Amino acid sequence: MINGYFRCSITSLYLHHHKYKLIMSKIGVFYGSTTGTTEEIAQRIAERLSVSTNDIHDASKLNEEIAGEYDVLVLGTSTWGAGELQDDWYDGIKVLKKMDLSQKSIALFGCGDADSYSDTFCDGMGILYEELKSSGCRFIGATAITGYTFDASTAVVDGAFVGLPLDEVNEDDKTAERIARWTEKLQKQIH
Ligand SMILES: Cc1cc2nc3c(=O)[nH]c(=O)nc-3n(C[C@H](O)[C@H](O)[C@H](O)COP(=O)(O)O)c2cc1C
C-alpha cells in the first residue's frame, strides 16, 4: 500500500477516513457468432473474468441501454467471407459508434482460421477496432503476434494484434492458455 491507497486488478479499493470503499468495474461481454464458436469462447472468457452469464450478450441484442451499463466492454467477433465482420455486429457497431465511449475500456477478441484464411486472419477484429478507434474509448488487451502463423491481418496494428485472436479450427489446443494469459493481462489493465 502506498500512501494509504492501492489499486488491484478488477476492483479498486480506496482508504478514506478509515473506511474502505469498494469500486467495481463492471464488465460486459458481447459476441457475434454464426456457428457458436465465438459464443463458446465468450463464455470461457467471461468465466475467467468472473463475469456472470447475465452479462454475456449476443451482439444482435446490443443496444445503448445494455452497453451503457458497463465500464469495460469485451467484444468478440468471428470473421466471414474474405475478411468480413460476423453478421450480428453490423447493427451493434452502429449502436456503439453513436454512444459516448470516452469513459469506457474496450477489449477485443476474434475467432478465425489462420490456415484457410491466412490473408484475412481475424480481420473482423480489425474491423471492430477500425470502427471504434476514434470513439475515445481506451483499448486494452493487445496481443503480440509471436506464436501465430498467418500471412496478413487487419487486426495487426503497430506490430501487435489489437485484441486476442483465436483459431479454434487449427489450434484449439492453444486456446486455453491464450485465454488464461490474456484475461490475466486484462485484469491488470482494468481499473
Ligand atoms: C466461408 C467462411 C469464410 C471465412 N472467412 C474467414 C476469414 O476471412 N478470416 C478468418 O480468420 N477466418 C475465416 N473463417 C473462419 C471462421 O471465422 C471460424 O471458423 C470461426 O471460428 C467461426 O466462428 P463462429 O462460429 O463464432 O462464427 C471463415 C469460415 C468460413 C466457413
Q: What is the pLDDT of residue 23?
A: 66
Helix (H, G, I), strand (E, B) or coil at 125: helix
pLDDT tens for each residue of 32-81: 999 999 999 999 999 999 999 999 999 999 999 999 999 999 999 999 99
CATH code, residues 25-190: 3.40.50.360
The pTM score is: 0.90
Report the separation in Å between the CA atom of 30 and the middle of ligand 1, taken as the mean of its atom positions: 18
Is residue 170 within 6 Å of ligand 1 at its C-beta? Answer: no
Judge whether 132 and 96 are in contact, CB under 8 Å.
yes
Domain boundaries, given as residue ranges, for the chain: 25-190
52 CB burial (10 A radius; 0-12, 13-18, 19+): exposed
Q: What is the pLDDT of residue 24?
A: 79
Atom of ligand 1 nearest to the CA of 150: 11
- CA 14/CA 179 separation, integer angstroms: 30
Phi and psi angles of residue 187, each rounded to the nearest 5 degrees, phi first:
-60, -30
Phi and psi angles of residue 61, each rounded to the nearest 5 degrees, phi first:
-100, 0
